[in-house]
């Protein structure tokens, strides 16, 4: 049986991926410092899967702690989610972001090499294409100049990982460039649990619907898009989690392999609000607000490569994304603290 080390496995995408890995028969060891997650997720995962992942409370920047993990467990491959992800915060605290996301990836890679583990799946982002890329984004496009330290940290980490593959042919690394993951596990037991006021659209809508926030601010309705609001490529987090399981198979081939994981089309902010209201029957009051600095009008994935090479598509509908978000939010109005 194969054992996968999942850094950041207590977080939003990580926890959903741990569920899919356990259900597929993998052993899972999570390393997470809980900076943006809650230990309660482990019991929820156990309820869903009937199995509990191993858990180590450690920071990926701590080489000694990682060395201990690699000596205690016989790790076959690593999925590296651990990192900070708030774009606005990264503008205010660039050093913290580069240290966590770039140095954290370096320290992890070093610990892997020391332990003789050369298979890695890395959480990258559509933001690595930068603001000037033509849509839809394709993996053949060069990495761009992301406008935030968060985005730059992901592009830098990808460059380092590409250099590692050039330096030593034992490395096989998959960089998964996520578009906009939303939704929750169909059980309603695990989901996205942002601290404080959410930065992202879907959790904000869910908090308005559950009565925790008064109204949504729609950031700009004067973009050059069909209804004037921005278009994004939303995909169900369980589809994304399945993509990670499938990408483990691509680790059989040495080198760096980048894949877009997205649905392949854009949905506007107002259409997201309408879809949520139609599926859940809840009303989401909103007002039109000024544009948010740094937002791009529209981007979505060309996800043909993931289909051809990983046999992966974002199969779940927008309606499922909305229904599952609402099941999680209404059943856990205060997230894992509920």
CB closer to ligand NAD, 194 vs 297: 194
List 4, 5, 6, 11, residue binding ligand NAD (CB under 6 A): 11
CB closer to ligand WQD, 120 vs 216: 216
Among 187, 179, 172, 195, which Cα is nearest to 20's? 187
List 18, 27, 29, 32, residue binding ligand NAD (CB under 6 A): 32
* Per-residue binder mask for ligand NAD (CB under 6 A), 98-117, x = binder: --x---x-------------
Residues that bind ligand WQD (CB under 6 A): 85, 87, 125, 127, 151, 180, 199-201, 204, 216-219, 230, 232, 269, 292, 295
Which backbone phi and psi does 316 adopt, to 5 degrees? -80, 145
CA dist 102 and 137 (Å) reads 23
Catalytic residues: 150
CB closer to ligand NAD, 60 vs 248: 60
CA dist 88 and 257 (Å) reads 29
Q: Does residue 35 bind ligand NAD (CB under 6 A)?
A: yes
Residue number, nearest CB to ligand NAD: 11
Q: Where are the alpha helices (DSSP H) in the chain?
A: 12-23, 40-49, 63-72, 87-92, 94-97, 104-115, 149-167, 201-209, 237-250, 269-280, 304-310, 318-331
Chain position carrying tokens 């289909």: 307
CA dist 144 and 52 (Å) reads 40
- For the bound state, the minimum distance from the C-beta of residue 138 to ligand WQD, rounded and expressed in Å, comes to 18
CA 292 distance to own-chain centroid: 21
32 binds, among ligand NAD, ligand WQD, none (CB under 5 to 8 A by kind): ligand NAD
Q: Does residue 36 bind ligand NAD (CB under 6 A)?
A: yes
- DSSP secondary structure string, 134-150? PSSB-TTSPP---SSHH
- For the bound state, the minimum distance from the C-beta of residue 9 to ligand WQD, rounded and expressed in Å, comes to 17
Chain position carrying tokens 């729609």: 218
230 binds, among ligand WQD, ligand NAD, none (CB under 5 to 8 A by kind): ligand WQD
CA dist 62 and 246 (Å) reads 29
219 binds, among ligand WQD, ligand NAD, none (CB under 5 to 8 A by kind): ligand WQD
Which backbone phi and psi does 212 adopt, to 5 degrees? -85, -25
Total of residues contacting ligand NAD (CB under 6 A): 28
Among 170, 309, 316, 304, which Cα is nearest to 247's? 309
CB closer to ligand WQD, 166 vs 217: 217
Residues of this chain that bind ligand NAD (CB under 6 A): 7-8, 10-14, 32-37, 59-61, 81-85, 100, 104, 123, 125, 178, 180-181
């Amino acid at each position: 049986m194969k054992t996968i080390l999942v850094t950041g496995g207590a977080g939003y995408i990580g926890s959903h991926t741990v569920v899919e890995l356990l259900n597929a028969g993998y052993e899972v060891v999570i390393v997470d410092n809980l900076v943006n997650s809650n230990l309660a997720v482990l019991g929820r995962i156990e309820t869903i899967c009937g199995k509990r992942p191993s858990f180590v409370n450690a920071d990926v920047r701590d080489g000694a702690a990682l060395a201990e993990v690699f000596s205690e467990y016989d790790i076959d491959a690593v999925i590296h989610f651990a990192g900070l992800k708030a774009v606005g915060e990264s503008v205010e605290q660039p050093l913290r972001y580069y240290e966590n996301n770039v140095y954290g990836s370096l320290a992890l890679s070093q610990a892997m090499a020391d332990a003789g583990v050369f298979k890695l799946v890395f959480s990258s982002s559509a933001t690595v294409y930068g603001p000037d890329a033509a849509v839809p984004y394709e993996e053949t496009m060069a990495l761009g100049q992301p406008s935030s330290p968060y985005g730059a940290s992901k592009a830098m980490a990808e460059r380092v990982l590409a250099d590692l593959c050039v330096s030593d042919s034992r490395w096989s690394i998959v960089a998964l460039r996520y578009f906009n993951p939303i939704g929750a596990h169909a059980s309603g037991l695990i989901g996205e649990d942002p601290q404080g006021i959410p930065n992202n659209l879907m959790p904000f809508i869910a908090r308005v619907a559950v009565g925790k926030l008064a109204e949504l601010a729609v950031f700009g309705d004067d973009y050059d898009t069909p209804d004037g609001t921005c278009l994004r490529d939303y995909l169900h987090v369980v589809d994304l989690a399945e993509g990670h399981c499938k990408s483990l198979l691509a680790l059989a081939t040495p080198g760096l392999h980048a894949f877009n994981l997205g649905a392949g089309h854009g949905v506007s902010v107002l259409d997201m609000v309408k879809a949520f209201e139609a599926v859940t029957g809840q009303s989401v009051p909103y007002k039109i607000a000024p544009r948010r600095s740094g937002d791009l009008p529209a981007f979505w994935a060309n996800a043909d490569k993931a289909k051809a090479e990983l046999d992966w598509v974002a199969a779940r509908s927008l309606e499922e994304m909305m229904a599952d978000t609402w099941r999680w939010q209404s059943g856990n109005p205060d997230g894992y603290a509920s």
